[in-house]
Structure 1
Amino acid sequence: MIRVILLSICLTAPTFSLAENITVYKCVIKGVPTFSQLPCALDAQAITLKNINVTTAYSNTTASSKITDTSVDDYLKTQQINRDIKRYQLAIKQYQQQYTEKKQQIDYMTQDKANRLGASSIANAIATKTSALKQSYDALIGQAQQQIEALNQQKEQLSQQP
């Protein structure tokens, strides 16, 4: 008799949900993102996760009625997109710094080097070399900016999903 009661409790327990949402707190401690059930710092960011009833969500296995909880996946994708955007922004800054350094080297051109390049004057040689350098770095910066725009569009699409 006790086994029957325990069995019935175990079978019906998953159908009851005690909480609708779960709140997790995100803190950055010594540069490392940390997640906790309680606020772990004064600047803790509260993240609310949807709690789904597994029994009802997966009781109907037909392809037309799939129920999924993508809030965590969307959050993680958004965080990855933000990291990628920062990486591309850093690359743009590095490209600009490299361009400035190489431009300074070009500005110190000698007449001998200008003659070897086939230019009529130092100013002409500097202008030619600077133009070629600018085109190559503009292409690299443009590609990085396009990647940032694409990532921003992906992030916007994730935020518009229900």
Structure 2
Amino acid sequence: MNRFILLITCTALPFFSFSQNTTVYKCVIKGVPTFSQTPCSKDAEQITLKEINIIEAYKSPTQANNVTDSSVDNFLEVQQIEREISKLLLTLKQTEKTYQEQVKQVSYVTQDQANRLGASSIADAIAKKTAPITSAYESKVTRTQQQIDALRQRKQLLSQIP
């Protein structure tokens, strides 16, 4: 039981302040200001040092008003948005490259392949094979561009917030 009381006392002790206002005495001895706990001469100046609550002294005024500084959060979010936009732009470049490769492969159609597709000519067969590729490419580019535009709008909005 004694150990339990001792444990609670030692645990709670740092949360209590036993210090009070402190009195010191200032004397000038041989032209040098000297401070002491006891009067050092008859003309000693008594100085009272008030207890300082360190937590209150260093408390930020924005914390007292429950206002948070979101500029750092906004900066970090803008940086994240820029990274996402860069990734999407790279995706667009890769999509363009893939599209060009697929169109190039389609251009190697022979007359025999065109006949199997039921096309009247090689050009007609190329057009038939290219149409779905172009449609898929344009759809993907449109979606990606919309994502980029939305991210840029969000970035602009965050840049306007102080």
TMscore range, shorter length: 0.5 to 0.7
C-alpha displacement of 1:11: 4.2
2:103 counterpart residue number: 103
C-alpha displacement of 1:117: 1.5
Residues 15-66 of structure 1: CA distance to partner in whole angstroms, max 9, x if unpaired?
4xxxxxxxxxxxxxxxxxxxxxxxxxxxxxxxxxxxxx1xx33335xxxxx4
Aligned residues: 118
Worse-superposed segment, 1-10 or 150-159: 1-10
2:160 counterpart residue number: 160
Q: Separation in 2 of the partners of 1:138 and 1:153?
A: 22
Bigger radius of gyration, 1 or 2?
2
Q: Separation in 2 of the partners of 1:149 and 1:12?
A: 46
C-alpha displacement of 1:154: 0.2
TM-score (norm 1): 0.66
Distance 1:11 1:155, change over 3 A: closer
1:59 is aligned with what amino acid? A
1:10 aligns to 2:26 (yes or no): no
2:131 is aligned with what amino acid? S
Distance 1:129 1:11, change over 3 A: closer
2:10 counterpart residue number: none
Percentage identity across paired residues of the two chains: 43
| Runs (5+) with no aligned partner, structure 2 | 1-16, 22-49
1:57 aligns to 2:85 (yes or no): no
| Runs (5+) with no aligned partner, structure 1 | 16-52, 61-65
2:103 is aligned with what amino acid? K
Q: Separation in 1 of the partners of 2:20 and 2:135?
A: 79
2:33 counterpart residue number: none
SS in 2 for 1:8: coil
